[in-house]
Structure 1
Amino acid sequence: MTQHGHTWYGNDAALVQEYTAWMRLEGNADSTIHNYRNQIIRLDRWLQEQQGEQRLGLMDVDGPTFVTWRASLTIADVTITTYVAYLRSFYSWAVKAGHLAENPALGVPLPRLPRRLPRPIADDRLEHAIDCAPPRIRPWLVLAGYVGLRCCEISVLRRRDVYDTSPQPFIHITGKGQHERQVALSDYVLAELEETLRTRRLWLFPRLDGSNGHVSRNRVSYLGNQHLHRCGVVETMHQLRHRFATAVYAVDRDLRLTQELLGHQDPSTTARYTAIGDTAASAAVAAIQPGRRLRAVRRRRKSS
C-alpha cells in the first residue's frame, strides 16, 4: 500500500496512521509528528532493502533486527540517539495499544555522547548581525538572542501573544509539546518589535508567497542562519538562544528561573506554580539587554 509517496508492507500504513493520530491527541506539533513518521519510514525502507519482498513488517521487528539496523547507521552519534528515541516512542505506543507484547527498541545500545557546553554567540557578533539584518530577519535575531525563543516558536507568534501594553510587558509562547510560558519583554525588545507590532494583526511573521499562514520554522532557521553566515558570524540561530540562557543564568545563578524562561520540560514542581512574569524574571531579562542599543533605537525613531 502506498501512502504519501511510501509503499508500506501489510497493515503498517494503518498502524502508522493510528500512531500519528494518537500523537495529535497528545498535542504534538505537526513538525514533531512529521519527524517521527519520517524515522519510521526510514526503518521500513531499511527492512525492504535488507529483506526485499519478504521483509518483516514493523510489528515483526525483534531486538536482534534492531541491533543490526543500529549497526548499519553511518551518521553522527547524536543523530543515532535521536533516531532510536523516535522509534522507542513508536514501539512504546505499540505496546500500550496492544499491537506488541514488548518494545523491541529498548535494548538497542546507544553511543555515549560527550557532555556539551553551551556555545553562546558573543554579544558583539550578535549586535553586528542585528545591525546588518534586513527588516524581516532583524526581529528574529532579537527574539532568539534577547528573549530566548526557538525558531519554531518565532514562526508561530501571533500579534495577540505580545502583551506590549501590560504594566510589565511580556510575550506568551507556546513551545515544544504545546508547553506554554511567559517571558518578560525589555524596553529594547519592545523598541525593536515596534514596527512589526504596529503593522501585524494576526501572524507576526506571515508567509510572503501569497499563501495564508505563518512563516515556517525551517524558513526562520534557514534565512536566519544564512544571514548570520553572510555577515561573517559562524554561530547559528540556536546559539543565539544559548546566549540568552547563559546571560540569564549569569545574573543570579538561578537555574530554575533559567529553565522556566527557556521553556524546558523538566522544571521542578514548585517552578510550575511560580508566575513567570514576576519581578525576579523581569529583572533578570532586563539586566541582559543592551542599553546602548536601546538608546540608538530610540534616536532612530525620533529622527524618522
Structure 2
Amino acid sequence: MARKLEINALIDAFLQWVQIDKGLADNTFEAYSRDLRDFAEHLATREIDDLSQVTPLVIAGHLRALTDIGLSAKSVARKMSSIRGLFGFVISEGLLKKDPTEGLTLPKMPKSLPDVIDFPSVERILESIDLGRTNGLGIRDRAIIETLYGTGARESELIDLETGDVFEDIAFVRLFGKGRKERLVPINESALYWIDRYSRDVRPYLKKDKRTPILFLNWRGGRFSRMGIYKIVRKCAEGAGIEGVHPHTFRHSFATHLVEGGADLRAVQEMLGHEDISTTQIYTNIGKEYLHSVYHKYHPRG
C-alpha cells in the first residue's frame, strides 16, 4: 500500500526547508505560507487529503477560483509558483514521481515597467530634505536616500546594512540580497559623505544598544521596519512635490540611469544582484522609452 502524502505535514516540511535551507526573507516565507494554506483549504473542500490525489485539473480549478474572486494575474502567478515549489520539493524527496503542475498555463500578465524618476527629480528630493530636524533625523534621512539611489539597494538590504559593510577606503558597500547572497556594490562620494556625517554626528545619539552593528537606526535606536523606510522616502519625496515614490523607485532609477548612460548590462545585473539577466533587461526597455522621448522632443521631425 502506497504511503499517504498528508498535505499539511508536507507543507510544513516544505516551509521549514525554504526557511532554513533556502534562507528566504521573512516576508517571502510568509507569502509561501499563505499561498499553500489557501491551497490546502481548497483541497479540503474537494475532500482531498493526500497530495498524490492532486491532478492538473484540481490545481487549474484552484487557480480559476482565485481569478474568479478578483485576484490579479500577478497574484495568481505567485501562488502558482508556491504550489510548484511544494511539488518540486515533494518530488525531490522521492515521495512523488509526477508533477501535476507541469504543462499548466497561467494567465498572461501585462508587462509593466518599473517606476522611475529622472535625475533632476532625485536631486530635488535630496535637496528638499530638512537637515535641521530634531536629533539630526534629516541628516539620517539624507544618508538613507543617498544610499538607496547610490547603490540600488533593496529596502531589506538597506535595513540590514551594518557599519562594517561600508568600505569607505575603496568606495564599496557589502549588501546581502535574497537568500543572504553577498555582493559588493560601488558607492559614490556623495553617499559616502552623508553616511559618514550621519555616523559621526547622529548615529551615536540614536544608538541605545552600544553593541548594535546596524547602520541606519530609527528614532528609538532600533532597526527600521520596511514601513519605516517607506514612510521616510514618501515624506521626503512629497516634500519635493513628487508623488508616488517608494524605496524601490530609487533602485529602479539607479539601474535605469546606468543603462541610459551606456553601462554594460552584465555589470548592472551584478550590482542589482539579479540571478537572471532577463530581470535586468527590463531596464533596457525603459532606456528605449527615454531615447524615444528625447527623439520626439528634440528631433525636427520627431
- Please, which of 216, 222, 247 is the counterpart of residue 225 of structure 2? 216
Using the alignment, how far apart are the partners of 1:252 and 1:258 within structure 2?
Answer: 10
Match of 1:190 in 2: 192
Secondary structure class of the residue paired with 2:31: helix
Matches within 5 A, 1:129-278: 129-133=125-129, 135=138, 136-164=140-168, 166=169, 168-198=170-200, 199=203, 202-206=213-217, 214-225=223-234, 227-229=236-238, 231-266=241-276
- CA 1:88 to 1:137, structure 2 compared with 1: closer, same or farther past 3 Å? farther
Using the alignment, how far apart are the partners of 1:14 and 1:226 within structure 2?
Answer: 45
1:267 offset after TM fit, Å? 5.4
The amino acid across from 2:215 in the alignment is: L
> Is the 8 Å Cα contact of residues 24 and 179 (structure 2) preserved in structure 1?
yes
> Is the 8 Å Cα contact of residues 154 and 217 (structure 1) preserved in structure 2?
no
Gaps of 5+ in 2: 130-136, 205-211, 279-302
- CA 1:172 to 1:96, structure 2 compared with 1: closer, same or farther past 3 Å? same
Match of 1:274 in 2: none
1:111 offset after TM fit, Å? 1.8
Using the alignment, how far apart are the partners of 1:223 and 1:12 within structure 2?
Answer: 43
> Is the 8 Å Cα contact of residues 67 and 108 (structure 1) preserved in structure 2?
yes
Match of 2:24 in 1: 28
1:223 offset after TM fit, Å? 4.5
Q: TM-score, normalised by structure 1?
A: 0.73
Secondary structure class of the residue paired with 1:252: coil
The farther-off stretch of 114-123 and 217-226 is 217-226
- Please, which of 108, 113, 127 is the counterpart of residue 112 of structure 1? 108
Using the alignment, how far apart are the partners of 2:160 and 2:63 within structure 1?
Answer: 35
Q: Say whether 1:123 aligns with 2:119.
A: yes
- CA 1:22 to 1:255, structure 2 compared with 1: closer, same or farther past 3 Å? same
The amino acid across from 2:143 in the alignment is: P
Q: How high is the sequence identity, in percent, across the aligned residues?
A: 25
Runs of 4+ in structure 1 displaced over 6 angstroms?
A: none
1:245 offset after TM fit, Å? 0.3
Match of 2:86 in 1: 90
The amino acid across from 2:55 in the alignment is: D
Gaps of 5+ in 1: 1-9, 269-304
> Is the 8 Å Cα contact of residues 260 and 267 (structure 1) preserved in structure 2?
no
The farther-off stretch of 60-69 and 148-157 is 60-69
Secondary structure class of the residue paired with 2:100: coil
Using the alignment, how far apart are the partners of 1:17 and 1:219 within structure 2?
Answer: 31
Using the alignment, how far apart are the partners of 1:115 and 1:90 within structure 2?
Answer: 27
1:189 offset after TM fit, Å? 0.6
